[in-house]
Every structure is written in structure tokens, then in C-alpha cells.
Structure 1
Amino acid sequence: MFEVDCLVQGWPQYKELADDKQISLSQLLSDVATTNVFAGYSLRLLSSSYLGPCIRVRRSTDGATQDIGFTGNIVDVSAILSFVGSGNGFVHTWYDQSGNNRNLIQASVGLQPQIVNSGSLIADAGLPCMQLDGVDDTFTLSSASATLSVFAVINTIDSQWMLSGGSTIFVMAAEGNNSSPDTAAGSPNYYRNNGAALERTRQALLGSYSTGVKLVASVMPLTGVNGDLFLFRFQSGGFNFAAKVSELIFFSDDKTAERGAIVANIAQGQSIVLS
């Protein structure tokens, strides 16, 4: 099992990576969070013991797919661009680096997030990201744990559902700019970056997350899931999330006590200015 003992921090921008700028694995998230990782997805390497690919990319020109690994502890940008060419590239599979084999697979071509646009990598703060179209792009995390702490790196101005599942729904960009309370079971706390817990109304969450700025959104503890968790859309259809996304980490316990250190580590790895 992935013990988060190698979630790397201190990453440079992908444009600056070179053979003489390899990143040290000396600073690890294991210093602050070593247990109960349910699944880990990122466009950077999360574990030095993980030897699998980062993503599987589909190119628009002929529909072919190819696994893409890492270089310099970040997804292999050169390999992506070489494979896709002058067309568009989409993410077919986002591999789980936790060792739990909970890979996110989207076989329907129209529902796949985009990572290359007309031969150019889609990026956020100088690092690779996926672009969700806000129409139908989605993944499903099967058989989610009953209790979850979730950390997501997003950049959005949208006001739709980030995650939903069963009778439990929680939003990271709140649906509707109103004062209604959010509907997540267990009354979890929501956070932006390393700030205090946010007011649990849709209006407050919208103002905190839908800013057009790359940030770490987190919620904990989310309880009562016990089933499939629908990513970037409302469970019954519609209300899809338009955003740039580069990292999703799920823990199967309450990480409130460790949140500050986890967020700081993610922020360094994703070139996020905490505020």
C-alpha cells in the first residue's frame, strides 16, 4: 500500500526541467501523513516506489492511446507532445499511484479530460494539468471508502459539482450562488489552501473556490459515501465541472490534524502560492 512516504515537494516548472535539474526525493510527505491513503492521482510523481505510468493519453488524429510515464519526477511532457503531434490529446486513464490499483478509466472518448490542445500542452502555473470542459468530462472512483479526506488541486471559475456520490454530495465549487447549506453527510469542513474552515453555505464556497486561481481545495471528514464517487459531475447527470485539475488525493480517515502540512507539501509541488 502507498504510505504517502514519497510524495515529493519542491518541484520546478516543467519548462525548466533538464538533465542537470533532477529533483531530489529528500523532502517527503511521510513526515506528516503516512497512513490510510485510499488513492492518489497526480501529474507529478507521488511515490519513489511507484514504477507505473502517470496517465494513458488518447490522440485525436487516429484514436490511438499510449501510456505516459515520468521524467524529472513529473509527467513526461516530451513524450506526450511527441505522441499527440499537432492534434489534441485526452486522458483515457489516470493511474492510481497508491498501489491500491484504483485507476480512473474513461473509455468514452467524449467524456475524457483534455491535456493537449492543437499540439500545445495545457498547463497551470507552468505545470501540466487536465482541462475539464464543463459539459460531460468525468471519471468514477469505484467503491469509495465510508470516510474520506480529499485534497484537490483545481483552478476554476465554475459553480458546479466537483464530486458526488450516493446520498452524499459535496461541492468544491458550489452549485448556485445562494445561502443554502451544502448537502454533504457528516457536516465536513471545507478549506481553501491553508486557511481556516469555510462557512458551509454554497455562496461562501463559491466565493472561496471559483476564483480563477490555482489552489488546494480540501474537505474532511466526508462520511457515508460507501459506493461510487462521481468526479467532476452531479451523480444523476448534468452540472459538470469546468476546471483545470492536476492532483487528487484521497485518504480513508480524517486528516484534519495533518492538513496544514499536507497542504504545504502539495502547494510546493504544484507551484501554488498559499493565501
Structure 2
Amino acid sequence: MSAYKGRTTCAKGTYVEFVVAPDQDVDFGDILVVEGKNGDRFYIRVYDFKVKSRWSNMNGVNYLMGKLDEHGQIANREEFEFYLGGPQHKSKVAMAEQLCYADPNGCLFNPRTCPDFFDEVRGLSAEDTVLLEEMKGDLEIGYLKTGREVSQMSIGIYGHKAITEHIGIFGTTGAGKSNLVKVLTSSVMDLDSYGLLIFDVHNEYFSALRKHPRAGDKLIVYNNYPHYQTTYQMKVNAQEIRPDDLMSTAGFTEAQTDALYKMESVWGEEW
């Protein structure tokens, strides 16, 4: 049986709150299971915490502050612990979002209802992992991370739904945006169902994708100088370039803009 984590205390829509059991560790991003009353299961992801105590009101806080010395330290630890009242007088509450719902037959659905009051919250079991793997798409992008741990369960998106849509990948510098695109592209190369056109302006994808086992027959490169076995030399017809093309690539002063259009009007295609 997977580890017991706590009990639900509030649920509204897909929002779930539960009290973390004493001596149990629950982290941001943990994926947990709420056991329903009728054998159904609710899969939730933790995104925030709050701590409650009988001393949480301002009067209680001010009283406890009066028990500190001039340096803000606890003067009498035993007395202080007595006033706190132990674990039964304070609680750590986790806030989570419902990801999906499984009925008693093990069929997965988008959230359909919410857990009941005081339902058990536990960690993922091997049975849960097998069930969640059924949701995995054909384009693998990594492994499931729950809290501070990375599981061995691979995750993926459905290519027939995602490839034809706009996909935004956002993150700070070093967050792994480029690496995610490399992994996604590698998964596309593993299959014969999809194709991608990548504008690799900084040469950050070619160096990695050329090492793919199927690069010889799945990677085609267009460049202005061939340096790979399946590279096609890219040539640009200078006579087709117009001032409007340059205007979209850089900023020009008013005088420079006038000069561009003047040169085109004088020399035509040879400008």
C-alpha cells in the first residue's frame, strides 16, 4: 500500500484542500491520490501550502511574541512548546488541483466531481502508475516528476492533436526550453507519422539531432554551406529581395529607409 499522506478538508470544483498527516512529507508538485467512498480515485497535484494553529489570530501571535527574548529567540523552549500545544493544535494544509478522475472500473476521465470530506489522501502506487500510463501520447517528452522525485513513468503528448496546433514553451534562461524541443523533435524522428520544420538560427538543434540513430534518413538540413551528409545548400535570389524584406529584419532610421527605396527605384532588380 502506498504511503498515507492525510485527509481532505475542503473541495470545490477541481480545487482540493487536505491536512497533511503528522510526520509526512508532501512537496510542491506532488501527484497524489484521493480515495473516494465508492472505489473511485481522484488524482491531484499539490501547488501550495498554508499552516494553521489555534494561535494564528493576531492576539495569539502577539502573545507568543511576548515569549521571545530581546534577540527574538525562544527563552524557554519547554514553556513555549507547552503553549503551542503540540501537533494536535497546529496543522499543515496542502492546496491541490484535481488532474483527472478514475471510476471504480479503472476508466480515466477529466474531473467529473470532487472528493468528499475527510477522504484519505495517499501517494501513487504501482497500480496508479499503470493506469496513468494509458493516458500517455505517442510523442514522449520525458518522465513524470512528482514533487522532488522523478519517476520511471514516461509521459508524452498526442502528436495528432499537438503537431497541428501552436505550442508555446515558456521559461527562464536555463529552464530547459531548448532541451524540451530537442526531446520532442527526437520523438518525432522515432516515428514515421509526423514532420517538423525547424529554423535553427543558433545551430543549437542540429548538433544534437545529427546524433539521433535515424538521423541519416530522418534529418534533412538546408544551409548556406553544406557540412552534413544530407545537407542541401540554400541559395537566395538577391533579385527577389525588396526593401520591405529588410525592413522586417532590422530597425532603420528615416534617412536609411528613404535610401533603400530610392536605390530600388533607380536600379530596379539590381539595387
Q: Same fold (TM over 0.5)?
A: no
TM-score, length of structure 2 as denominator length: 0.24
Which structure: greater strand fraction? 1
Q: Comparing both structures, which one devotes a greater share of its residues to helix?
A: 2
Higher RCO (CA 8 Å, separation ≥ 6 residues): 1
| Larger Rg belongs to | 2
TM-score scaled by structure 1? 0.24
